[in-house]
Amino acid sequence: MNAATTTIKLATATVAGAPALGGVWAWPVDLEAYDRTAELTPTEREALAALATRRGRHGHWSTRTVRALARLRTPILDVLTITGASENARCGALAILVAEMHRRQRAVWAWTADEWGDVLCASGRQFTGRYPVPQHCRAQLMALAYLVGPPLDLDALGPFNRLVLARKVFGQPRIDGAIQRVATTLVGWGYREEHAHRTLHAPVCEALLANRSPRLEDLTADHLDALRRRAERKHLRDQLYVLSRALFGLGLTDRPPTKAFRTGPERDPTAGVASGWVAWSRRWLETSTLAPRSRRAHYILLLKAGRWAAHVSDVTHEHPAAVDPAQWTRETAAAYVAAVDRMTVGQWASSRLLGAHRVGKPLSAKSKTHHLAALSAFFRDAHEWGWLPHRFDPRRCFAVPRAMGALLGPNPRVLADDVWAKLLWAGLNLTEADLSHSQGSSVHFYPFSETAE
């Protein structure tokens, strides 16, 4: 079981000598204390070449070599001490840095973010395939790069445990204290403590690492919104939203999080739809008396149907008149119902902002029903208002097929024990005062029986 899936057991109060979790915080490494000259001296080049080409690079360094490379070796060892690297990890990390400094002929201080990314590799598997060292050396090198190098693109390093990195560079007491502080807020809102910790450790570490500070007070609402927009995984975006709400509840940010936004470039929803179809769809949108949210949802599905109509008309030529709603017949409607029945997620959509794990999968029965309902409502209204000739019955032609309807039904969820206990307690303690009654009347809709039979 790795640290990413294990519930964090926070015990900051029992950590001996733990630093204060609030107040002023300084960067763990005093970079000004070292000679950060980028160019190597002739003596350093000679010593690096000797180490990089010999066998057993993890072995003992001679006094002469240690003296020649003191300017390069000392800060590396100091940082690895701060991050808590083991002796084996120190030797492995130092061996890699010696080889890379020799290959690049520049000190680590001069490496760019792209060069650090090349050394760290795009995944742990690629790292172990390139360097003959244990994989845990990569975590130490990542912490070293974070502390002494330029800001890294952590997303380019592939999946790795942000909690481990955050603890190494900021210290475990501070990170665990920050998570505990936010988790306490969520528990007060009704989250289970175990679930709160499991939900928070990824977004808290992501936000603090991106902000290069372990202080929650340094995070802003704009910074968190930017992280959510940049996050590729929906799960992480949802967790960052919860974190944003908690920080606003703690009074650490000046506004609540933006509830929803697109995570990719905006696209014209009418792209790929014939102008005539767009005009009819907009006319229906402006005339329909459905609720605003329902009108908008139907409008998007109408444009999606228009994109399908353009395809079967201009590309496949199966239904040449499909781009004009006035030319739809029972046969065209049947073809669209068949297309919806076989439709996949993302097909005929105006954008590709859906998660990659969903695109290409079959639509759910409920979603298919919404597609048919939108076309049925549009044609029913258009026929009733005299806009289009009555060539077919929309209610019958866009009716949900029996096989599709059989997949619709209740989708019960398993209730947690504590939620079920609350419902049971409420039911056992229900009184007549809890019941609703008619407006302006004291008579309840469902009054208690006076006597038990």
pLDDT in tens, 261-317: 554 444 678 888 999 999 999 999 999 999 998 999 999 999 999 999 999 988 878
The DSSP string of 68-94 is HTHHHHHHHHHHHHHTT--HHHHHHHH
Q: How far apart are CA 148 and CA 288, in angstroms?
A: 61
Whole-number average pLDDT of the chain: 84
pLDDT in tens, 398-434: 999 999 988 887 777 788 888 889 989 988 888 877 7
At residue 167, the pLDDT reads 94
pTM of the model: 0.58
HEC-encoded secondary structure of 214-238: CCHHHCCHHHHHHHHHHCCCHHHHH
Do 39 and 163 fall within a single domain? Answer: yes
| Residue of 164, 137, 169 lying closest to 151 (CA atoms) | 169
**pLDDT class for 451, splitting at 50, 70, 90?**
very low
The structure tokens listed for 388 are 């289009």
**What is the rounded average pLDDT of the residues 427-452?**
63
The CA radius of gyration of the chain, in Å to the nearest whole number, is 31
At residue 12, the pLDDT reads 32
The residue out of 362, 390, 405 marking a domain boundary is: 405
At residue 271, the pLDDT reads 85
Do 388 and 309 fall within a single domain? Answer: yes
Q: How far apart are CA 418 and CA 318, in angstroms?
A: 57
Q: What angle do CA 314, 317, 319 make, to 5 degrees?
A: 100
Identify the domain containing residue 62 by its residue range: 29-168
* Residue carrying the six token digits 């969520």: 186
- The pLDDT of residue 11 is above 80: no
Residue 441 resides in a domain? no
Total count of residues recorded for the chain: 453
The structure tokens listed for 228 are 């959510």
The residue out of 99, 133, 168 marking a domain boundary is: 168
In angstroms, the first-to-last Cα distance of the chain is: 58
At residue 235, the pLDDT reads 84
The phi, psi pair for 344, rounded to 5°, reads: -115, 165
pLDDT in tens, 118-148: 999 999 889 988 988 887 899 999 999 999 9
Do 153 and 209 fall within a single domain? Answer: no
The residue out of 365, 383, 405 marking a domain boundary is: 405
pLDDT in tens, 341-354: 999 988 888 755 55
Point out the least confidently predicted range of 58-67, 249-258, 338-347: 58-67
Residue 410 resides in a domain? no
Residue 5 resides in a domain? yes
Q: How far apart are CA 40 and CA 73, in angstroms?
A: 13
Number of structural domains, the chain?
A: 3
**What is the rounded average pLDDT of the residues 88-104?**
90
Do 159 and 35 fall within a single domain? Answer: yes
The DSSP string of 189-220 is TT--HHHHHHHHHHHHHHHHHHHT-S-GGG--
